[in-house]
Amino acid sequence: MPKKQGGHLSIGEVKSSILEFILKNKKPVGEPAIRKYLLKKCDVTDQGNINRHLHDLRKHGCIKLIPPQKKGLRNYWDIVTRENIKNIRHEFPELQLNKHEKAISIITIELLSDRENFCFEWLKLHIQLLLSVSFFDTCLEIDTQTLCQRIWKSYITTKDSLRYKRINDLSKICYIACAKYYSKFKMPEDMFTATIKEFSWEKVRLGIKEYIVGFFKYNLPGLPKDIPLRIIKTKLSETIEEIPEKIPDEINDKDFINYMFHTLQLIIEQKRDYDSSKHHLLLEHFFLQDILTGVDSDDEHYFVKKTLDNYALIGKWPESFYMGLGEAELADLELISEIIIKYKQPSVFYDLYGKDKVYQELLKWYT
């Protein structure tokens, strides 16, 4: 005989089952479907009892009621916000939220709100959220800007401290030269340093002369108009004059262009290195955290080891790597396809192509 009040079910089991059912479905679920699922899993049929559980979950901010568009139609329920996920984790810590694609999608949409859907960064982010409990929990608690600031702080402290210091020292000597030799230049030093760190050397590499001229004109007012043209000429020169390892206390106006050029060059090299290493900084940090808290898994060990092995290939980029994938990313795609096949997510790839074609389709998608 069906249990009407939960019988010997453990406390919270019905509510947990409701949440699991909603998380497993991509779309909102109707109450008849929820009742059918609970009958099969928990042998619970009492409609009033089920409704009470639903409204309790809503009261605790775990689920959202989606009322019918027309009177007399059924209610639907869904999990749609970061707050829903945070409340579920608080009320039902036993649920493995990072194993559910719906929960992961809520976080990735927020973290990559200004990025292209299904970009390569999104795919790597999805897989790491799937495999790392501590990474999922962290992304649930802090916003994108804070996370990026902390990754950057970790990078310049542990991976790039020497170059970071040299960039700051060169920026300082360039600023002193600007202030001494160009009377119309009135920018504070901290603003000058922050401004040149936003310079895009990629546009120089692509030969976008207008960008360089415009950058100096609008972002560094008061400098002579010929300075960006001299920097462009320096970029095109086959030989670039070296600067000493020990930076002098002062440089003359003739040396300024060369010092400025080297400063900008270091800034762009730093940006490139950071872009290629920030994912691995996150990976290593949260992997160690998972180990220390005892929530690491064999799949996470395998994924991290293989990813770090792939990272060693990053120096093998083809000359035109901006237009395609290098060996490191190709190896990452192959590894990611293994995880997709095992966990059947992101479903956009698994559901469409099945286990036999995932890797081939990933190659088509990202190359």
Query: What contacts 151, CB < 8 A, 6 or more positions away?
Result: 278, 281, 282
Asked which of 270, 305, 329 is the last residue of a domain, the reply is: 270
Same domain (yes/no): 175, 256 = yes
**Domain contains 156:** no
36 and 61 both lie in a single domain? yes
| 85 and 117 fall within a common domain | no
Given 229, 254, 270, the domain boundary residue is 270
| Whether residue 132 is found in the same domain as residue 179 | no
pLDDT higher at 7 or 86: 86
Domain of residue 17 covers 13-95
The residue out of 270, 286, 308 marking a domain boundary is 270
Rounded to 10 degrees, the C-alpha dihedral 150/158/320/119 comes to: -30
The better pLDDT of the pair 66, 230 is held by 66
The share of the chain scoring above pLDDT 70, in percent, equals 88
DSSP for 276-295, please give it: HHHHHHHHHHHHHHHHHHT-
Nearest to 316 by CA among 301, 324, 326: 326
Instruction: Mark whether 239 and 181 lie in a shared domain.
Output: yes
Q: What is the C-alpha separation between 304 and 128, in angstroms, rounded?
A: 9
More confident residue, 276 or 187: 187
In the chain, how many domains are there?
3
**pLDDT single digits (tens) 202-243:** 666 665 678 888 888 899 999 988 888 887 777 656 556 788
Report, as an integer, the average pLDDT of 270-275.
88
Residue-wise pLDDT for 316-331, tens only, equals 444 433 335 678 888 9
With respect to residue 280, please indicate whether it lies within any of the assigned structural domains: no
Task: Compute the Cα dihedral for 187, 189, 190, 194 and give only its sign.
Answer: positive
Q: Would you place residue 6 in the very low, low, confident or very high pLDDT band (cuts 50, 70, 90)?
A: very low
Residue 131 corresponds to which tokens in the numbers above?
Answer: 């495999």
Per-residue confidence at 116, pLDDT binned at 50, 70, 90? Answer: low
> Which residue pairs, CB below 8 angstroms and at least 24 apart, start in 289-293?
289/134, 290/132, 290/133, 290/134, 293/133, 293/134
The whole-angstrom separation of Cα 30 and Cα 41 is 17
Which residues, in sequence order, are bridge partners of residue 65? 77
Same domain, 170 and 135: no
